[in-house]
Structure 1
Amino acid sequence: MMTLKNYLLFGLLIWAAFSCTSGQADKKMEKLPYFNLSGFLDLELAKLDGTKVTKISEVNGEESNSEKAYSLQEWKEEFEAFYSADINSPALAASYSTETEGEYLIHRLLPEAKGKVKEIKIKYLKEYPNSISVRMTEKNLFFSSSTLAEFYMNLATEKIDHYSIETSQKVWFLEPTHIKISGAVK
């Protein structure tokens, strides 16, 4: 026969179990204020694990070509510029305007807000992102940097088709560095 103490303990354990799982489900269902760029990349790059890319890299005018099969981790490193452009953080929750222009969803940094990501532009085709471009700039007394990164989807294969990342960096007292990377997924 269960005593009152055992009933209370059992009830408390059941309540604790349900309250923990309910909170986790709520977090997963939480709506983000802006396009979930990191989540989208995680899904799309997982499709490319082990896929070859033909890549052209240019640093200050010196060009090199390569072809290589990338692991998922290497794809994530290649797309680091896009991951660093994710604006879904509590600190940036009210820093961007969100507009739609035709098939584009555009997040723009508000004039009074501070942030390195100036604009994210997502082009939709058949309710799925067809291309994404990101524009970032960073400046302080000693350093300035600007980046334009874009990638395009292939609707036939439903995978990333090609991408480009162009960055210019200037450190005080040094010559500027210009880097351009473009890749075509095989």
Structure 2
Amino acid sequence: MYWYKRFKILALSATIASALVSCKPDAAVEGNRYFDIKGYFSNEAERLTKLHPHVEKTVKHNRQSESRDLGISSWKDELGLFSGSDINKPAWRDSYTVTKRGNTTVYKAKLPELKTQSITIINNGDKVQSIDIVNHTSNLLYTSTENLSYYPDSAYHIGKVQHVRLLGENSYDINSRFN
């Protein structure tokens, strides 16, 4: 009887150990299945940090607007919403449809619960001409929709509408033009 309990414990331990070994996180995806948004905006932030361009930035919050000519101190933070729209996560490997027409590529979410609902990229040869992103989040407390547009060395736009239960709606519009 003693050996049976010991065998059972040993067998259980071996099963748990093998389960733990096989439960390692997904390995990084070799090559990206979709356009590398995160990498692209990381490179843009690095490039713009070296160039130190000024932007004419207009921020509008619920119809109140303010404009300034600014030097951006952290391009990584400034472009954070864009790079945060990365769809190259292993769990989302087959979660987007890809449509290519001419110089335009559109990534569209197959599931409504995915934050990034669409990405549209227009290329001019091998250079990105524009990127448009639509993000949407909805839960019991709030609904948020972001429209992000980026035109390298020209302009970028961040539009966000947020409806919070009991507090109402807020809208933000940020338009920036490179000088």
**Is 1:185 the equivalent of 2:170?**
no
**Is 1:58 the equivalent of 2:71?**
no
2:61 partner letter: V
Q: 1:168 aligns with which of 161, 164, 168?
A: 161
Task: Tell me, in whole angstroms, the C-alpha distance in 2 between the residues paired with 1:166 and 1:102.
Answer: 27
**In 1, are the aligned partners of 2:72 and 2:78 still within 8 Å (CA)?**
no
SS of residue matched to 1:32: coil
- Report the equivalent of 2:70: 68
Residues 149-164 of structure 1 mapped to structure 2, 5 A cutoff: 149-153=148-152, 160-164=153-157
Percent identity over the alignment?
A: 25
SS of residue matched to 2:145: strand
**In 1, are the aligned partners of 2:113 and 2:137 still within 8 Å (CA)?**
no
Q: Deviation above 4 Å: which 4+ runs of structure 1?
A: none
SS of residue matched to 2:33: coil
1:18-60 deviation per Cα after TM superposition (whole angstroms, max 9, x unaligned): xxxxxxxxx9993111100111111122221122111000000
**How many equivalent residue pairs?**
151
Cα displacement (A) at 1:117: 0.6
TM-score, scaled relative to structure 1: 0.76
- Report the equivalent of 2:38: 38
> Cα 1:62–1:31, aligned 2, differ >3 Å: closer, same or farther?
same
1:70 partner letter: I
Residues 50-129 of structure 1 mapped to structure 2, 5 A cutoff: 50-71=52-73, 74-110=74-110, 112=111, 114-129=113-128
Task: Tell me, in whole angstroms, the C-alpha distance in 2 between the residues paired with 1:161 and 1:56.
Answer: 15
Task: Tell me, in whole angstroms, the C-alpha distance in 2 between the residues paired with 1:28 and 1:142.
Answer: 34
1:166 partner letter: G
**Is 1:144 the equivalent of 2:143?**
yes
SS of residue matched to 1:66: strand
Task: Tell me, in whole angstroms, the C-alpha distance in 2 between the residues paired with 1:39 and 1:28.
Answer: 14
Unaligned runs of 5+ in 1: 1-26, 154-159
TM-score, scaled relative to structure 2: 0.79
- Report the equivalent of 2:134: 135
Unaligned runs of 5+ in 2: 1-26
**In 2, are the aligned partners of 1:51 and 1:69 still within 8 Å (CA)?**
yes
